[in-house]
Structure 1
Amino acid sequence: MASNTEHYTLAHAQFDKPVKILIVVAPYYKDIADQLVAGAKDEIEACGGTWEIVEVPGALEVPTAIGIAGRMSNYDGYVALGCVIRGETTHYETVCNDSSRGLTLLGLQGLCIGNGILTVENHEQARVRAEMTGQNKGGGAAAAALHLVALSRRWGGGRKGVGFVPARDEYRVASKTDTA
């Protein structure tokens, strides 16, 4: 069983300037979500960072909320938290795959995201993974986000993004009446 295996863990990320992290949580299983959030907060505070939390209805909405925040806010990184427990239908696969894919695509666009959305067979597996005295997957997701923020700062400072950049007011298109 993987829970009995010892894993290597990186030391806490270190920062010259404070880091601000957004925790996006889907509290569908509130007891599990609360444990994940506690672990994430603890890890962020251990690095001297600050955090804010927003709740969304389910795991599928987590990537969307992070994408919106990435475009419209000033967070350094993001922690995605939630829990998907297998049920009787194929909806489990859809939620697991699409939430993970959405987070991966956002990460490839330059957002620093730690994925702490648990995908498990039953509530007991979720509990063991969520508890801070257990596997502390919320803390692990926060650590991942923080390490990515540290790499981002090391390799280039501010986030420039990748790919399409939406037009902003300062980039208005000149019309024929603007030329003299």
Structure 2
Amino acid sequence: MKERLPLMLLAATALLPVRAQQVLVCDGATRFPLRDVQTFIDNRLIGKTTYQGLIAIPDSFSTATFQRKGFLSEKLTREEVLRDTVFLYPAEHYLDEVIVYGRHIINGKKTLEKMPKRDILEEQPPHSMGEFDLGILLDKRFRRDKEHVEKLREIFRKMDGDDDDPIMKAYRESQKDTINTRKKPVETQ
């Protein structure tokens, strides 16, 4: 009986399930599960995904690599794999490098200076005799934006004006003090 006890304990521990986590492997473009994705844990093959795209991986590891023909391989750390879903992206949609050559160099500051500066609250640009702009009359978004800008400017005027708010007064005085101290020259003796 004493000899059977260690054997029974060994058999019982062998039958205990190993803690593992199920990971779903999907196509990054279509979001469908992928089957037969080779999974490597710490550079050791542990198996392939099922037809449902699932694979059980051990609880403790440092890196996991997922590979399938026609897809880019993914090498992820343990923290990244714990999100339960791994996406593999098709290799045909992958570009190694993109180089852009410019033909014309445009000075942005000069272009901005040339652009007309028009405020939304300004009147419409003058039209020649007989012209009629039906688009501006029917544009609800333009009218809404115009009202919104008017309200915001009124709010900013109130905020910038002198009111009896003691906090604003203290803030303005502290700003004046800091500006005045910066302007005073330092006296040397």
TM-score with structure 2 length normalisation?
0.23
Report the structure, 1 or 2, having the larger helix content: 1
Higher relative contact order (CA 8 A, sep 6+): 1
TM-score with structure 1 length normalisation?
0.24
Structure of higher CA gyration radius: 2
